């Protein structure tokens, strides 16, 4: 029968019956939509009918399922991705043996009614509606693309839903994952679901976007909107319509803002425009191939096999298509990975005229509350300097814990090793700040007690590829030993701050790469009446490779195999010395990770500590990358 294939081959109903292995009456019943024929037989007969282009006589043609093999696609609204979706539907329709006719019904209700009336009289087999208006009173098998799925089980209606709110969420989440925290959102009027997705992505990092970062797209005025973003310090723009992508690019060009180095851009929508922009824009896209396939599966099932439309209801997942318009701020100018292990506290600062160790009454001038703790402070210091910090620690599942978490995320710190402990409150530090910035600190450990050796071992992958690890010895002894063991196992260099300890085993000391005690800590570890140089020499002889003793306003002292020298300070006005040591250690770690020699690293770290004492608090007082770079340019 191979020779029968093709138009004009003279194939008749007897030939079709023979090819299918059924009777002539069975073929006739299939062509007349007789429901007594099984689905399998019906499918076989219709497949052969299409393959051999069999055209029955006109009386049968009117009632037979194949009829014109024509479906209509009705555009109820103009969307940027409809062009690509139409192409995809046409391809899938061809695979099923259908032709398509397209009607643009987005120009008004009167035109839409006229189109639907004409289509109903033209022998159309089924319809696909693109938009929110839906199929209405249409009696033909229909698929609605874009409408929400209802609980009703319609027999001749299937819905393919795509969630624009999900698209907004994924696009903003992607930018947050790239280290952006100030993200503007450009929306068209009424796109509340996308705005909700934008806010949801922010909530997941325990923060909220500012209202001034949200703009409603007009026909004009985008240049002013972009200008407002630049003035507000926005680093990324998320736009709900790629059709405005070229306008946004042009506006950024007028402000001499480069993409993606100075401003990242992500748009929603499928469009050839994405690849034509320079640089090509990253998009969140509707999966048009998936939608077209599901729509045609549903329509074919209803037309040829009388299956219920609701069986084909589906929800499609948006796709992130990465191109070249987004800068990863977490990786930009980042150096070797630095792991930070230490306490995370909420610092409660009490400013008084003078501090006392015992007796008397102190009058409070003011109180302040900031995220703090040696571990959190050092991680934020590294992040503000453009370093790549990974935090290991524990927070309480409370408001203070979320505030600390947010401060770390905002600084670009990776939180892979941070957990919220439901049974403990977030740790607190009560700090009295007296004349000359001198202070006393009382610690309430809280959730920091959950940071044990098991936690270190559980998050072993965090140490992979790390160059340095900051260990604060105010932790439990088992935690410190587990951290040291992990660093030795992973060949990670250790920078150790010996807080709150009286003595160390020599076996422990010889494993340390960089040891950073302050003057009081050095005296406790090496007691006796002797100069700083002698204490450092004793520690060096015990096996420590580099000893840096910080001396407050007198600077610091370095001892290693190549150097034995003091470093001075800038003598800035002192407001609060609480975070000086954390600023020093974080800056030194970043510089070492960038392969600076130890002398240059300490010079820059000393300056970072000097700057930190000029303001209250710790994290907010730390120098940023631009400030340290400016100082470095002045060094000989």
CATH code at 420? 3.40.1190.20
Would 634 be classed as within a structural domain?
A: no
- Which of residues 285, 303, 327 is at a domain's end? 285
311 and 341 fall within a common domain? no
40 and 85 fall within a common domain? no
Residue numbers of the domain that contains 275 = 165-285
Would 327 be classed as within a structural domain?
A: no
Please give the radius of gyration of the chain, using alpha carbons only, rounded to the nearest integer. Answer: 35
pLDDT the model gives residue 586: 95
31 and 108 fall within a common domain? no
At residue 548, φ and ψ (nearest 5 deg) are: -125, 110
- Joined together, the tokens standing for residue 246 give 């070229």
565 and 548 fall within a common domain? yes
Would 332 be classed as within a structural domain?
A: no
- Which of residues 40, 61, 82 is at a domain's end? 61
Would 447 be classed as within a structural domain?
A: yes
294 and 187 fall within a common domain? no
pLDDT the model gives residue 118: 66
Q: Tell me the β-bridge partners of 340.
A: 391, 470
363 and 239 fall within a common domain? no
221 and 247 fall within a common domain? yes
Whole-Å CA distances, 196 to 108, 270, 286, 461, 561: 30, 21, 18, 34, 59
35 and 74 fall within a common domain? no
Would 326 be classed as within a structural domain?
A: no
Would 151 be classed as within a structural domain?
A: yes
pLDDT score of 57 more than 80: no
Would 329 be classed as within a structural domain?
A: no
Strand, helix or coil for residue 583: helix
Query: Which range scores top for mean pLDDT: 299-313, 529-543, 622-636?
Result: 529-543
Q: What is the pLDDT of residues 357-403, one digit of tens each?
A: 555 666 777 777 888 889 999 999 999 998 889 999 999 998 999 98
Please give the angle made by the CA atoms of 153, 157 and 163, to the nearest 5 degrees: 90
Q: What is the pLDDT of residues 315-351, one digit of tens each?
A: 888 888 888 899 887 665 445 789 999 999 998 877 7
- 97, burial (CB in 10 Å: exposed 0-12, middle 13-18, buried 19+): middle
The rounded distance, in Å, linking the Cα atoms of 503 and 527 is 10
Would 40 be classed as within a structural domain?
A: yes
Give me the CATH number covering residue 171: 3.40.50.2300
pLDDT the model gives residue 333: 47
Give me the CATH number covering residue 40: 1.10.260.40
179 and 155 fall within a common domain? no
50 and 129 fall within a common domain? no
pLDDT score of 178 more than 90: no
pLDDT the model gives residue 588: 96
Spatial CB neighbours of 367, under 8 Å, sequence gap ≥ 6? 348, 349, 350, 351
The total domain count for the chain is: 4
501 and 558 fall within a common domain? yes
281 and 424 fall within a common domain? no
pLDDT score of 11 more than 80: no
């Amino acid at each position: 029968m191979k020779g029968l294939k093709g138009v004009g081959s003279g194939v008749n109903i007897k030939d079709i019956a023979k090819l299918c292995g059924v009777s002539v009456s069975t073929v006739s019943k299939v062509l007349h939509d007789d429901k007594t024929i099984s689905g399998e037989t019906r499918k076989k007969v219709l497949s052969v009918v299409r393959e051999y282009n069999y055209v029955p006589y006109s009386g049968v043609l009117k009632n037979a399922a194949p009829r014109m093999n024509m479906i209509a696609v009705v555009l109820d609204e103009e969307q940027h991705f409809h062009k690509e979706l139409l192409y995809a539907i046409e391809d899938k329709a061809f695979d099923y043996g259908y032709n398509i006719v397209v009607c643009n019904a987005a120009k008004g209700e009167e035109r839409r009614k006229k189109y639907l009336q004409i289509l109903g009289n033209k022998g159309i087999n089924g319809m696909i509606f693109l938009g929110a208006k839906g199929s209405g009173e249409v009696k033909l098998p229909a698929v609605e693309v874009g409408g929400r799925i209802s609980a009703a089980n319609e027999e001749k209606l299937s819905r393919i839903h795509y969630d624009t709110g999900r698209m907004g969420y994924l696009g903003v989440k992607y930018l947050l994952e790239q280290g952006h925290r100030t993200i503007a959102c450009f929306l068209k009027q009424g796109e509340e679901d996308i705005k909700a997705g934008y806010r949801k992505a922010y909530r997941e990092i325990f923060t909220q976007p500012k209202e001034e970062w949200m703009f409603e797209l007009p026909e004009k005025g985008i240049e002013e909107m972009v200008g407002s973003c630049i003035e507000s310090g926005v680093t990324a723009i998320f736009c709900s319509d790629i059709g405005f992508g070229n306008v946004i690019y042009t506006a950024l060009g007028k402000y001499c803002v480069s993409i993606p180095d100075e401003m990242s851009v992500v748009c929603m929508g499928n469009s050839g425009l994405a690849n034509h922009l320079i640089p090509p824009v990253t998009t969140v896209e509707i999966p048009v191939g998936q939608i077209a396939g599901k729509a045609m599966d549903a329509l074919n099932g209803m037309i040829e096999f009388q299956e219920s439309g609701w069986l084909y209801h589906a929800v499609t997942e948006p796709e992130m298509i990465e191109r070249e318009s987004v800068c990863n701020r977490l990786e930009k100018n980042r150096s070797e990975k630095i792991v930070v292990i230490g306490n995370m506290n909420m610092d409660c600062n009490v400013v008084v005229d003078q501090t006392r160790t015992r007796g008397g009454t102190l009058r409070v001038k003011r109180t302040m509350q900031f995220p703090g703790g040696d571990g959190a402070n050092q991680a934020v210091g590294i992040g503000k300097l453009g370093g790549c910090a990974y935090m290991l620690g524990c927070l309480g599942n409370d408001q203070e814990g979320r505030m600390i978490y947010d401060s770390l995320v905002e600084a670009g710190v990776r939180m892979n090793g941070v957990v919220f402990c439901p049974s403990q409150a977030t740790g607190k530090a009560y700090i009295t700040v007296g004349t000359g910035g001198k202070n006393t600190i009382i610690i309430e450990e809280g959730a920091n007690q959950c940071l044990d050796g098991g936690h270190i071992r559980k998050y072993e992958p965090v140490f992979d590829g790390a160059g340095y690890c900051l260990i604060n010895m105010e932790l439990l002894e088992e935690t410190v030993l587990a951290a040291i063991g992990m660093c030795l196992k992973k060949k990670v260099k250790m920078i150790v701050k010996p807080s709150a300890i009286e003595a160390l085993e020599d076996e422990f000391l010889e494993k340390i790469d960089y040891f950073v005690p302050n003057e009081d800590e050095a005296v406790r570890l090496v007691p006796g009446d002797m100069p700083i140089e002698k204490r450092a020499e004793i520690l060096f002889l015990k096996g420590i490779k580099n000893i840096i003793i910080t001396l407050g306003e007198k600077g610091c002292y370095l001892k290693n195999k190549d150097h034995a020298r003091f470093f001075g300070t800038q003598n800035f006005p002192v407001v609060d010395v609480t975070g000086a040591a954390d600023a020093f250690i974080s800056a030194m770690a970043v510089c070492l990770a960038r392969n600076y020699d130890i002398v240059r690293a300490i010079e820059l770290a000393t300056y970072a500590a000097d700057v930190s004492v000029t303001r209250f608090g710790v994290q907010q007082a730390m120098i940023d990358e631009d400030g340290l770079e400016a100082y470095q340019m002045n060094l000989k």
